[in-house]
Amino acid sequence: MSRDSAEGSVQQYDDEECDKATNDKQGVAPADILQEIVDRKESVVVEWYDQTNKEPPRVDAFLEPNNASKNRFKGVLLYDKSRVTIKGQKGSDYYHASLVDSLEKKDGYILAQAPFSEETEAGTYILYTFCL
């Protein structure tokens, strides 16, 4: 199911669709991660660390000059891989917010900076209206 408006659109999934989308992306459910940690102990953490550090995370959207005014803290990077993208937003799809897995599902939470200007206040409104 998706919701559209003049400001933007967001794809929404029920739990079954979310599980399928996670599997389609070759994602791993958080419960499976916990079980693997229990089964393999430290070796799994070392393996994951090595895998995640093969290629450093990209922060291209964060570094774009037209997004600089939307970042409250210049030293708090926003990874491209996990950032929330506001679809259909005129002028920019950027807001300093990340998708984070919950125990129940992939991308179960959105972590965002607090608004600090009219521009970021409007972005927060769009984020909460169309991404939750």
Q: What is the pLDDT of residues 9-26, one digit of tens each?
A: 334 434 454 444 444 445
Q: Where are the beta strands (DSSP E) in the chain?
A: 2-4, 9-11, 83-85, 94-100, 109-112
pLDDT of residue 10: 38
Taking 80 as the threshold, does the pLDDT of residue 38 lie above it? yes
pLDDT of residue 91: 61
Pull the structure tokens for residue 26: 């070759």
pLDDT of residue 132: 58
Mean pLDDT calculated for residue range 117-126: 82
pLDDT of residue 5: 39
With beta carbons less than 8 A apart as the criterion, state whether 18 and 30 touch: no
Q: What is the pLDDT of residues 40-93, one digit of tens each?
A: 888 888 888 888 778 888 999 999 999 999 899 889 999 999 998 887 766 678
All structural domains of the chain with their residue ranges = 14-55, 57-132
Pull the structure tokens for residue 60: 């291209």
With beta carbons less than 8 A apart as the criterion, state whether 105 and 57 touch: no
pLDDT of residue 22: 42
The stretches of the chain forming alpha helices (DSSP H) are: 15-24, 30-40, 42-52, 60-63, 118-130
Mean pLDDT calculated for residue range 97-116: 87
pLDDT of residue 61: 92
